[in-house]
Chains A and B, each alone.
Chain A
Amino acid sequence: MLETLYIFVQLLVFLFLSYFPCNSITSPKSITSIIKSSYDYFFINLIILTFILLLFSFLKIQLNLIFFFLIFIYLLIYLISIKKITNEIINKKNLNLNFFFYIINFCLFINIAYKFELGWDGLNLWIVKTNIFYNGFNYFESFQQLDYAKNYPHLGSYLWAFFWKNSLGNYEYFGRLFYMYLYILSLFVLASSIQNINIKTKIILILIIFLFSFDYSLGGYQEYLIFSLLVFAAKLLMIIRNNNKSIFFDFILFINTIVLCFIKNECTFYAVFLWLIYTLIKKNKVYSLLFIILILITIFLQFYFVKIIYTANSFFQISIDPLVWLKNLNILEIIKRSFYTTFYIMHSLLKYPICLINFLAILLSIYFYKKIPENKFLFIFLILNLSFIFAIYQVTPLPIIWHLQTTIKRLFLQTSGFYFFFVINIFNHRVIKIS
């Protein structure tokens, strides 16, 4: 029973960290007037938190000390306007949905506590990296501790180690609960993005997205972390598109993108896609330039440390020799690989029904292209991502079928939250009405 209590405390810690530093009391009016749901504050705060933890991961500071430092700072913010914030937390508005948010998280946490089996990569890669941070090493020291997997980014493992170390239970899975918390939060962000539907419909929608996207076999994988961060990125792009004045959301998108780059290698590509979309939406050359400079610095620093200082075999999981690739290039091979890739894309649509829903929504969005202008940036992401996927499987030196079977489903799953905005836009534009 004690373990259940510890899990509950872990949930409370996540909730506390989600309330600060931004909420309807502490934020200026320019921000509060734009943010409609409390989950939007939550995700903004968690992006800030993960960015702070990213910075700490480069320093030699114990995880416990970082935790107490953060709690201290957040408590200070809380104490400044304790009455107002307490009233806000227990506000009756949306109480049912908030209550459901706590319950759904708790149920899932308990589920993880019993079925905490790690998937292949979870056990082979991610927990090995996590153990290094758990044992008190920082980003730079982690390379010396690793014999392999040096080229895998570290932030997901660092977050895992951070919440594992700072949990009452002190079991490995306590750290991973943070991934699930972010994932559930992203589902609530998705549901809250649909306008003019009541709470009951929102809850049904959340249940459906959960059932259609959750996979127990991905224990320890980073896919749900990427899923959540891409949902947050899409939401921020929506906000920036509709409200061009406040630069606060631009700043949050920048740090969200930097955080994304430190989760997994393919996210560096997603970062460039997000920059391209941002450039088209914002049309402000200075911010756009700043954004791409930040992304390039992030990629360059990762490359510098991984490849040059700590001499990993390659920057990405697969190393591609362009000369060998060009030598083996022929039309038959390209057609064969394209065919297999298309086949396994279809296969992954059936593996995760959320991808199938997105696919149908994309078809509908193409039909109603002119009616829904917001879909433009989603289409750009879709085209770039599909090109990226086809390109990977054209150049991979690994056996093509094995590579497709083991990876493509997850590539689609992690971006499915982003594409779910096609569904949201269809509902918001009343192309389809739901009561």
Chain B
Amino acid sequence: MKKIFFLKKNLLYLLYILIFASITSFFTNIYSISIRKYDERLIRIYGFCDGVSYGFIKKITEKYLKKDQNIYIINFETFPPSYGLFPKIKIDDEINNLVLLNYSKNKINILRSHNVDLKNYKMIYSEDKCYFYKKIIK
């Protein structure tokens, strides 16, 4: 009898909790968090080589820039700068390590506006529309 009374009394609270859980997709989110690691979720949100291209920059920093974490990123599409996603990365003012995201030959003016001439650079790695260049030291 006591149990039934307790359930009756708290049924509405349980309903509220379920409503809020469904509004915030609680159960789906718990499942998604448990099957997808943080890095995978970052790539799903910020893209590998589209949008902010988190995945590509991450790959570059892990593969080629273990010591020197200075890079200069140019995104050919309108997205906020990607630097914020990498706490250790600094903007390479001398543009020695150049990353081009969503590169398009039609928008070559964007390179000019950054004072970049690709003739002075050697391509190290590319994937889809993303490129990593290093300045040729003369």
> Which A residues contact B (CB, under 8 angstroms)?
1, 3-4, 96, 99-100, 103-104, 107-108, 110-111, 113-118, 120-124, 127-128, 130-131, 134-135, 147, 169, 171-172, 200, 203-204, 207, 210-211
- CB A283 to nearest CB in B, in angstroms, measures 43
Task: Name B16's contact: one of A122, A172, A207 (CB within 8 Å).
Answer: A207
- Kindly identify, within residues 24 to 56 of chain B, every residue whose CB is under 8 Å from any CB belonging to chain A: 24-26, 28-30, 32-34, 38, 41, 45-46, 52
Query: Which residues of chain A are within 8 angstroms of B7 by Cβ–Cβ distance?
Result: none
Mark each residue of chain B from 73 to 98: 1 if its CB lies under 8 Å from any CB of chain A, else 0: 00000001111111110010000000
Task: Name A111's contact: one of B17, B24, B45, B80 (CB within 8 Å).
Answer: B24
With contacts A3-B33, A111-B29, A114-B29 taken as known, whether A104 is within 8 angstroms of B84 at the C-beta atoms is no
Is there an interface contact between A107 and B21, defined as CB atoms closer than 8 Å?
yes
Task: Name B41's contact: one of A100, A116, A134, A169 (CB within 8 Å).
Answer: A116
Is there an interface contact between B16 and A118, defined as CB atoms closer than 8 Å?
no
> Which B residues contact A (CB, under 8 angstroms)?
10, 12-13, 16-17, 19-21, 23-26, 28-30, 32-34, 38, 41, 45-46, 52, 80-88, 91
Query: Which residues of chain A are within 8 angstroms of B81 by Cβ–Cβ distance?
Result: 123-124, 128
Query: Which residues of chain B are within 8 angstroms of A118 by Cβ–Cβ distance?
Result: 80, 84
Closest chain B residue to A173, Cβ basis: B38
- CB B96 to nearest CB in A, in angstroms, measures 17
Query: Which residues of chain A are within 8 angstroms of B23 by Cβ–Cβ distance?
Result: 207, 210-211
Question: At the interface, is chain B mostly helix, strand, loop or mixed?
Answer: helix
With contacts A114-B29, A118-B84, A203-B13 taken as known, whether A107 is within 8 angstroms of B24 at the C-beta atoms is yes
- CB B35 to nearest CB in A, in angstroms, measures 10
Task: Give Cα distance in the complex from A203 to B29, angstroms.
Answer: 23
Task: Name A127's contact: one of B12, B32, B85, B91 (CB within 8 Å).
Answer: B85
With contacts A123-B81, A127-B84, A128-B83 taken as known, whether A113 is within 8 angstroms of B33 at the C-beta atoms is yes
Query: Which residues of chain A are within 8 angstroms of B26 by Cβ–Cβ distance?
Result: 107, 110-111
Is there an interface contact between A123 and B52, defined as CB atoms closer than 8 Å?
yes
Is there an interface contact between B16 and A100, defined as CB atoms closer than 8 Å?
yes
Known A-B contacts: A123-B52, A127-B84. Give 7 more (CB < 8 A): A96-B10, A100-B13, A104-B20, A116-B45, A123-B84, A128-B81, A172-B87
Determine which residue in A122, A135, A203 has the highest number of CB atoms from chain B within 10 A of its CB, and name it.
Answer: A203
With contacts A107-B24, A128-B83, A147-B91 taken as known, whether A207 is within 8 angstroms of B19 at the C-beta atoms is yes
Is there an interface contact between A107 and B20, defined as CB atoms closer than 8 Å?
yes
Closest chain B residue to A199, Cβ basis: B13
Is there an interface contact between A131 and B87, defined as CB atoms closer than 8 Å?
yes
Query: Which residues of chain B are within 8 angstroms of A127 by Cβ–Cβ distance?
Result: 84-85
**6 residue pairs bridging A and B, Cβ less than 8 Å apart:** A96-B13, A113-B33, A115-B29, A124-B81, A128-B81, A128-B83
Task: Give Cα distance in the complex from A116 to B40, angstroms.
Answer: 12
Task: Name A207's contact: one of B20, B85, B87, B91 (CB within 8 Å).
Answer: B20
Is there an interface contact between A131 and B16, defined as CB atoms closer than 8 Å?
no
Is there an interface contact between A124 and B16, defined as CB atoms closer than 8 Å?
no
Is there an interface contact between A111 and B30, defined as CB atoms closer than 8 Å?
no
With contacts A123-B85, A131-B84 taken as known, whether A117 is within 8 angstroms of B45 at the C-beta atoms is yes
Determine which residue in B12, B28, B33, B91 has the highest number of CB atoms from chain A within 10 A of its CB, and name it.
Answer: B33
With contacts A111-B26, A114-B41, A127-B84 taken as known, whether A103 is within 8 angstroms of B33 at the C-beta atoms is no
Query: Which residues of chain B are within 8 angstroms of A117 by Cβ–Cβ distance?
Result: 45-46
Is there an interface contact between A4 and B33, defined as CB atoms closer than 8 Å?
yes
What are the 7 closest A-B residue pairs judged by CB atoms, nearest first? Answer: A127-B84, A124-B80, A123-B80, A114-B29, A131-B87, A111-B24, A107-B24
